[in-house]
Amino acid sequence: MPTLLEMRGITKTFPGVKALDNVNLTVEQGEIHAICGENGAGKSTLMKVLSGVYPHGSYEGEIVYDGGPLALRDIKESEAKGIIIIHQELALVPLLSIAENMFLGNEIAKNGVMNWPKAFKEAEGWLKKVGLTEPPSAVVGKLGVGKQQLIEIAKALAKDVRLLILDEPTAALQENDSAKLLDLMLELKAQGVTQIIISHKLNEIARVADRVTVIRDGTSISTMDKHEITEDRIIRDMVGRDMANRYPERKPNPGDVLLEVENWSCWHPEQVGRQMIKGVSLKVRKGEIVGIAGLMGTGRTELAMSVFGRSYGKNHSGTVKMHGRVVDVSTVTKAIDAGLAYVTEDRKGLGLVLEEPIVRNVTLANLFGVSKGGWLDKHRETQVADGYRKQMAIRTPGVQQKVVNLSGGNQQKVVLSKWLFTDPEVLILDEPTRGIDVGAKFEIYSIMKDLAEQGRSILMISSEMPELLGMCDRIYVMNEGRIVGEVSGAEASQEKIMGMILKEGRAA
Amino acid sequence: MADKSTGHLGAHLRENGMLLALVAIVALFTVAIAYDGKSFLIPPNISNIFLQNAHVIILALGMLLIIVAGHIDLSVGSVAAFTGAVAAYLTVTLKLPFYVVIPLTLVVGGLIGAAQGYWVAYWRIPSFIVTLAGMMVFRGATMWMLGGQNIGPFPDEFQALSSGFVPDLLGVGKPHGLTLLVVVLAIGAILWSGLRARARDAEFGIEPEPMAFFWGRNAIVAAGIAFVGWQLANFRGLPNVMVVLTVLTLLYFFFTENTTMGRRIYALGGNEKAAKLSGIRTDRLVFLTFVNMGVLAALAGMVVTARLNSATPKAGTGFELDAIASVFIGGASMTGGSGKIVGVVVGALIMGVMNMGMSILGIGNEYQFMIKGLVLLAAVIFDVVNKAR
Q: Is B266 an interface residue toward A (CB < 8 Å)?
A: yes
Interface test with B, best of A376, A404, A406 (most B CBs within 10 A): A376
ipTM (interface pTM) = 0.86
| C-alpha closest to that of A171 among A188, A190, A148 | A148
Interface test with A, best of B258, B265, B277, B280 (most A CBs within 10 A): B277
> CA of A358 to nearest chain B CA: how many angstroms apart?
12
In degrees and rounded to multiples of 5, residue A424 shows phi and psi of -80, 155
Separation of first and last alpha carbons in chain A: 50
Burial (CB < 10 A; 0-12, 13-18, 19+), residue A348, is: middle
* pTM exceeds cut of 0.90: no
List, in sequence order, the alpha helices (H) in A53-144: 75-80, 98-102, 116-129
| Pair A111, A185 in one domain | yes
| Pair A272, A198 in one domain | no
| Pair A193, A140 in one domain | yes
Q: Which of A182, A209, A239 is the last residue of a domain?
A: A239
**pLDDT less than 70: residues of chain B:** 1-15, 171-172, 204-207, 387-389
| Pair A276, A168 in one domain | no
**Which positions ≥6 away from A369 have C-beta within 8 Å?**
A363, A384, A421, A422
- Contact state of A353 with B275 under an 8 Å Cβ cutoff: yes
Q: Mean pLDDT for chain A?
A: 89
| Predicted local distance difference test score (pLDDT) of residue B1 | 35
| Pair A173, A220 in one domain | yes
| Predicted local distance difference test score (pLDDT) of residue B6 | 40
| Pair A298, A225 in one domain | no
| Pair A299, A225 in one domain | no
- Contact state of A353 with B207 under an 8 Å Cβ cutoff: no
| Pair A230, A257 in one domain | no
Between CA B354 and CA A254 the distance in angstroms is 70
The stretch A370-382 carries a mean pLDDT of 92
- Side-chain-side CA neighbours of A87 within 13 Å: the count stands at 10
Q: Which of A179, A208, A239 is the last residue of a domain?
A: A239
CATH number at residue A273: 3.40.50.300
Q: Give residue A208's domain range.
A: 3-239
| C-alpha closest to that of A138 among A178, A97, A99 | A97
User: Residue B22 CA to chain centroid, in angstroms?
Assistant: 15
| Predicted local distance difference test score (pLDDT) of residue B164 | 84
- Contact state of A395 with B271 under an 8 Å Cβ cutoff: no
Q: Is A51 an interface residue toward B (CB < 8 Å)?
A: no
Domains identified in chain A, total number: 2
| Pair A131, A163 in one domain | yes
DSSP per-residue letters across A193-209: -EEEEE-S-HHHHHHH-
* B4, B259, B276 ranked by CB distance to A332: nearest: B276
Domains in chain B, CATH or no CATH each = 40-164+260-384 (1.10.3470), 165-238 (no CATH)
DSSP H or E segment with residue A315: strand A314-322
How would residue A4 be classed by pLDDT, with cut points 50, 70 and 90? very high
Convert A45-69 to b/e letters by CB count within 10 Å (16 or more is b). Answer: bbbbbbbbbbebeebeeebebeeee
